[in-house]
Structure 1
Amino acid sequence: MAPQPDVELADVIAPVDSKSASEPVKTSLKAHDPFLVEFDQQFDADNPKDWPTGRKWAVTDVLSATAFNRIMVSTIMAPALSTIGHELHMSPTESAMSLSIFLLATAFGPLFIGPLSEIYGRQPVLHGSNVWFLVWNIACGFANSKHLLIGARFLAGFGASSIYALAGGVMADLWRPEQRGRSLAMYILIPILGAAVGPIIGGFMAGRTTWRWMFWSTSIFQAVMTVVSMTVFRETYAPTILKRRAKALREQTKNDAYYTSYERAEEKDSKMLVLRRALTRPLWLLAFDPIAQATSIISGVGYGTLYVFLSSFSELWIKQYHMSVEKSGLHYIACALGEVAGSQIGGPLIDYLYKRQLAKSQGDIQPESRVLLMIPCALLTPIGILIYGWTAQYKVSWIAVDVGMFLTMFTIQLGSLPMQAYIMDIYQNYTSSALSATQFLRSLTAFLFPLFAPSLYSRLGYGWGNTLIAILGLLVNLCAPWVLWAYGARFRAKGSSVR
């Protein structure tokens, strides 16, 4: 028998209303209670879902640009690892660690940051993490020892990780289910460029100036984005907005009877209990919720594979094709183009399929309809990985290698969007916690997989090494979505009885 957690899955998994999956779960409180503070169901200017489209895009764009810089910092060091290692007297393993330790921090950061945003709101958490990341990223540029560099990278990654916890939550706050594909595609367009553009910029900096400018330049950009976010970003979390409205009403009317359903649910609990319940929610989901487990495994394998390729792609061109560091970085353009194409095709496709399923089911749509798009991606991704691996193994023209990488990145990105939309549909009130649980495994694999990449390719070569990765991805990416498709509704139905 499983131990008793502090969190009921019923409190986290929102039951799907056959009429609409776009609104948060309503409580059993009487709708005519004059002291219950909630959004007007027709239109409410304070409800982020009813905001003008321009304001929604402004918040989305600020979050997107912030994510771009943070993700770019995670990979910008890749082409300069040998240079940094030589200057700071680091072994190859320590050099790889200085790159991947950033990703390790993004595994643990969201476990705290996501739940905190569901207690105090998105706005203060975003601003606080912006400043934290800025301070430690500057410290990386001034590092004069390997210990300081690795430590500062970890702390910078901890601050940067808030974007993984906040992004999905803010998107769920702002956009309705039928808009999630396009909004996710537009939000992710700039950040996905960061992972691929980082090594390109890093390659030129490594060849023309000191590697320290990788951190100083990104810190300048981060300082600008911190100021912009403090100006443009507005609170989007509905419980926080309603609590502020209730507090204002109590102060204006001198009547303490005004309340929100969220306050009523927590009124018997101490602040420490509320905090403990929130902070343990992501790990309890990961431990006891099959849906969170399945999506985490899919995401973890995909993200780990992505970072194996990103961390080793530059070395392939330098050692296998004898290119300069600068030219090796240019091949990351194929990675960027693949991810951009995947996101921009996947976003509208998700919305199209959702609306089609909605009409076909006469409004009785289930979240598992999102999973269908993941199946063809699971079949196509191994093809791209094999093309990339075997063309590199036999030193075929660089065009063939880049085509394989393009297809790999395209299908990985195309498959990740519907999974995010699926999580947002189910965990409506606790999207950040659910995505934090998923991000934990994603970041662990992104941290660990690249550490084995040098040994994998040195022993098996690029051909058989990528074949092994392709087989692993095929097994996971076919089995896990099938489990969600076949049993997802059952898992959600059982959520109310699981403690």
Structure 2
Amino acid sequence: MASGLSDSTLAASDQSSHSATNAENPTAQTLSQQPRADEKAADVPTEGNAAAPGLLPNEGPKDRSANIQRSRSYGNGYGCTTFNDDEENTKDSEKGQERQFEVRFDGDSDPMNPRSFSKTRKWVIVAIVSAGSTCVTCASSMYTLTYGQITTEFHISRVVATLGLSLFVVGLGLGPMILGPLSEFYGRRPIYVFSFAFFLIWLIPCAVAKNIGTELVSRFIDGFAGSAFLSVAGGTVGDMFVRNELQAPMMIFTASPFIGPPVGPIIAGFINQYAAWRWTFYVLIIWSAVMLGLIIIGVPETYHQVLLRHKAAKLRKGTGDERWKAPIEVMQRSILQTILRSCYRPFLLLALEPMVLNLCMFSAILLGVLYLFFGAFEIVFTNNHGFELWQVGLSFTGLFVGELLAILTDPLWHNNYLRLLRKREEEDGESGGSEPEYRLPPAIAGGILVPIGLFWSASSMVVFAMVNRELISV
């Protein structure tokens, strides 16, 4: 359930902000300002060159092979700016394309550039996509407090009922491999609208299911559709904010999917205590319908490459010159090829990059522990403490408060990140670079605190069980 910026998103968000002309009102003066066809391509820096100086677009295979080795990150610290295979296809296509007809934004003040939005509008968009992430992850955990009723109604074991939670999480994991690449072709807004519409539609069979098979299939498709907000929404934040403004909005968005799991049982506890389990999904349907309306009304397209494609279309219509092209229009790549690459690359990285494997295992263990609590809390607090269902839901308040406290420490870790950047600059005399390890200190602290918390929790349960047994025997 991790969220972050993909390589393509970072490349788009750090692109050079220069356009050939204004799409709405092209003039002869602006056309004359374009570089001549016989000028060197190096005179017009590409996105990659802007991100990592010194790597020229005409480097040969020998030079490009050096990129496999470790290199500095010139990104924003949330990821590394890289040169993926898709961008190499652009170079091949540019051999027959005059670069002076490549459409760019007229700086950050360009009306078509999402970075020209007012701060209020930017934060409204961040709030909507973050609330969408919270809604999806709430749907994953609210289901856990329906176990008592659905096991009786469907005549199934608790283990089978737990599959509804597991399949939803599987859908959350598989969805980004498909929805992420599609957003690079069609933009972020269509993915939001269609995926959340499917998320809403497949909540209906969850609510009216007459057997466990319908419930399980619907839960999987729900997780798959809802995963768009865990994979694409981070790119929306990067589209609107420049590098030095990313910390605060990214903190809000990154926290939103982790707030959902503990909040879900708190809400579901009250619902299932006083109403039938189907009302858990009725509430989610109402919530999702409101969210879908907010997405349609308040979240515009923000993906730079798609917006440049729209700008190029307007420019071609206004000038009658078909040579004006956006970068995405000259890329020689297919949707199927991009999706297939997105599907196998994660496994390739897991197999060939020990650091990626270790970090993924660390995240998987933490996520597994979090979701294990959803099944364990009801058993522990019902059997040992005699809690009612709404009280069991409130027991997740501890997780919620802990996550809020962790979010509030973000400025501390950000200041430490800036300190490491200054230290590196003083030692190497190089500014603007970063290292992925500079983002690891909070993970190191978490790696120490999580085992302490688990031992504390287990010890308190054992002690209480022993005391309770002694009291009963007396």
Same fold? TM cut 0.5: yes
Distance in structure 2 (CA, Å) of the matches to 1:234 and 1:397 = 58
Report matched runs for 1:150-161 at 5 Å: 150-161=216-227
Distance in structure 1 (CA, Å) of the matches to 2:161 and 2:371 = 15
Equivalence for 2:75: 21
Does the CA contact (< 8 Å) of 1:115 and 1:281 recur in 2? no
Task: Give 2:454's match in structure 1, choosing from 360, 376, 385.
Answer: 385
Equivalence for 1:184: 250
* Residues 19 and 244 (structure 1), Cα distance of their counterparts in 2 relative to 1, 3 Å cut: same
Where in structure 1 are there 5+ consecutive unaligned residues?
A: 1-6, 399-499
Distance in structure 2 (CA, Å) of the matches to 1:227 and 1:394 = 50
Distance in structure 2 (CA, Å) of the matches to 1:73 and 1:270 = 34
Does the CA contact (< 8 Å) of 1:185 and 1:344 recur in 2? no
Q: Does 1:295 align with 2:295?
A: no
Equivalence for 2:291: 225
Report matched runs for 1:181-330 at 5 Å: 181-264=247-330, 266-267=331-332, 269-270=333-334, 272-274=336-338, 276-277=340-341, 280-290=344-354, 292-330=356-394
1:128 counterpart SS class: helix
Measure how far apart 1:337 and its partner are: 0.8
Does the CA contact (< 8 Å) of 1:180 and 1:351 recur in 2? no
Measure how far apart 1:138 and its partner are: 1.4
Does the CA contact (< 8 Å) of 1:49 and 1:176 recur in 2? yes
Equivalence for 2:31: none
Q: Does 1:343 align with 2:397?
A: no
* Residues 197 and 271 (structure 1), Cα distance of their counterparts in 2 relative to 1, 3 Å cut: closer
Equivalence for 2:186: 120
What is the number of equivalent residue pairs in this alignment?
386
Measure how far apart 1:40 and its partner are: 3.8
Name the stretch that deviates more: 361-370 or 389-398: 389-398
How far does the alpha carbon of each residue in 1:104-157 deviate from its partner, in whole angstroms, 9 at most, with x for none?
A: 111211111111112211110110011101011111110111111111111111
Equivalence for 1:356: 419
Equivalence for 1:34: 100
1:76 counterpart SS class: helix
* Residues 277 and 19 (structure 1), Cα distance of their counterparts in 2 relative to 1, 3 Å cut: closer
Equivalence for 2:201: 135
Measure how far apart 1:199 and its partner are: 0.9
Distance in structure 1 (CA, Å) of the matches to 2:288 and 2:256 = 15
The runs of at least 4 consecutive aligned structure 1 residues that moved more than 6 Å come to 11-15, 23-30
Q: Which has the higher contact order (CA 8 A, sep 6+)?
A: 1
Letter in 2 for 1:131: A
Distance in structure 1 (CA, Å) of the matches to 2:157 and 2:225 = 27
Where in structure 2 are there 5+ consecutive unaligned residues?
A: 1-6, 13-46, 54-71, 426-430, 468-474
How far does the alpha carbon of each residue in 1:285-332 deviate from its partner, in whole angstroms, 9 at most, with x for none?
A: 445455543432222122112111233122210112222222111111
Equivalence for 2:151: 85
1:34 counterpart SS class: helix
Name the stretch that deviates more: 115-124 or 273-282: 273-282
**Could you say which structure has the larger radius of gyration?**
2
Does the CA contact (< 8 Å) of 2:181 and 2:338 recur in 1? no
Task: Give 1:374's match in structure 2, choosing from 443, 454, 459.
Answer: 443
Measure how far apart 1:349 and its partner are: 2.6
Does the CA contact (< 8 Å) of 2:109 and 2:115 recur in 1? no
Letter in 2 for 1:376: A
Name the stretch that deviates more: 270-279 or 360-369: 270-279
Measure how far apart 1:25 and its partner are: 7.2
Does the CA contact (< 8 Å) of 1:186 and 1:344 recur in 2? no
Does the CA contact (< 8 Å) of 1:178 and 1:354 recur in 2? no
Distance in structure 1 (CA, Å) of the matches to 2:108 and 2:230 = 32
Structure with greater helix percent: 1
Q: TM-score, normalised by structure 1?
A: 0.70
Distance in structure 2 (CA, Å) of the matches to 1:289 and 1:116 = 26
1:321 counterpart SS class: coil
1:395 counterpart SS class: helix
Q: TM-score, normalised by structure 2?
A: 0.73
Measure how far apart 1:198 and its partner are: 1.1
Measure how far apart 1:179 and its partner are: 3.4
Does the CA contact (< 8 Å) of 1:182 and 1:351 recur in 2? no
Does the CA contact (< 8 Å) of 2:74 and 2:434 recur in 1? no
Distance in structure 1 (CA, Å) of the matches to 2:267 and 2:133 = 17
How far does the alpha carbon of each residue in 1:208-255 deviate from its partner, in whole angstroms, 9 at most, with x for none?
A: 110000001110110111011001101122211112212221222111
- CA RMSD after TM alignment: 3.2
Name the stretch that deviates more: 255-264 or 91-100: 255-264
How far does the alpha carbon of each residue in 1:415-471 deviate from its partner, in whole angstroms, 9 at most, with x for none?
A: xxxxxxxxxxxxxxxxxxxxxxxxxxxxxxxxxxxxxxxxxxxxxxxxxxxxxxxxx
**Identity rate of aligned residues, in percent?**
27
